[in-house]
């Protein structure tokens, strides 16, 4: 009986050692998964950023022509306007201007209603944030590749220009009687 107890004790020690080794292996595997997750996130962020720049370039290429077709006599554009005002960072994807009015364009791959709401909130501060446009009429436009849940109709109802990127160009999809809102 004494021998059996000693054997059981030895087996328990070996089992405990094996369990510690297994735990160490799990921790090592978990650390590798975390590193892989970070690399995947980093690669996705890079892709998303580059995709966003591609979308902006696609829209910007046709923007003057598109806005002129809707009665906005703009003649040049600026891209990725960033700034800091009263403790807040801001960024506008594209601004089309003509010396008296500007059209600020928000570009989204997939447009959601919340994106429209957030953009309208930013538009209301545009003259304050960018003092050089303080006396300009400010209009807004949303450009997108895909729209979720009627977000494009919501944007038009909010009197934003609605621009759909298609293939290698873009088109304004507002109705014929559309009148843009001045922000």
Going along the chain from its start, the domains and CATH numbers come out as: 1-183 (3.40.1350.10)
Round to whole Å and give the CA distance between 64 and 78.
11
Q: What sign results for the dihedral spanned by CA atoms 50, 55, 59, 62? A: positive
Whole-model pTM over 0.75: no
Kindly report the backbone phi and psi dihedral angles of residue 35, in degrees, each rounded to the nearest multiple of 5, phi listed first. -65, -45
Model confidence band, residue 168 (pLDDT cutoffs 50, 70, 90) = low
pLDDT digits (tens, 9 = 90+) for 169-181: 667 778 888 888 8
Tokens linked to 100? 């008296």
Q: Please state the rounded mean pLDDT for residues 152-164.
A: 93
pLDDT digits (tens, 9 = 90+) for 65-117: 889 989 899 999 999 999 998 888 999 999 999 989 999 999 998 999 999 99
Residue with tokens 């020690």: 13
């Amino acid at each position: 009986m004494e021998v059996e107890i000693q054997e059981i004790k030895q087996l328990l020690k070996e089992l405990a050692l094996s369990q510690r080794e297994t735990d160490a292996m799990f921790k090592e595997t978990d650390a590798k998964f975390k590193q892989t997750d970070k690399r995947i996130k980093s690669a996705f962020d890079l892709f998303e950023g580059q995709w966003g720049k591609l979308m902006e370039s696609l829209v910007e290429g046709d923007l003057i022509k598109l806005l002129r077709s809707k009665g906005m006599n703009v003649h040049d554009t600026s891209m990725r306007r960033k700034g800091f005002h009263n403790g807040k960072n801001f960024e506008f994807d594209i601004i089309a201007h003509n010396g008296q009015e500007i059209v600020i364009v928000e570009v989204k791959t997939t447009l959601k209603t919340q994106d429209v709401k957030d953009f309208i909130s930013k538009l209301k501060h545009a003259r304050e944030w960018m003092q050089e446009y303080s006396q300009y009429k400010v209009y807004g436009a949303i450009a997108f590749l895909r729209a979720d849940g009627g977000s494009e109709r919501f944007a038009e109802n909010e009197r934003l220009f609605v621009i759909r990127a298609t293939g290698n160009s873009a088109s304004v999809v507002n109705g014929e009687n559309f009148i843009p809102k001045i922000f």
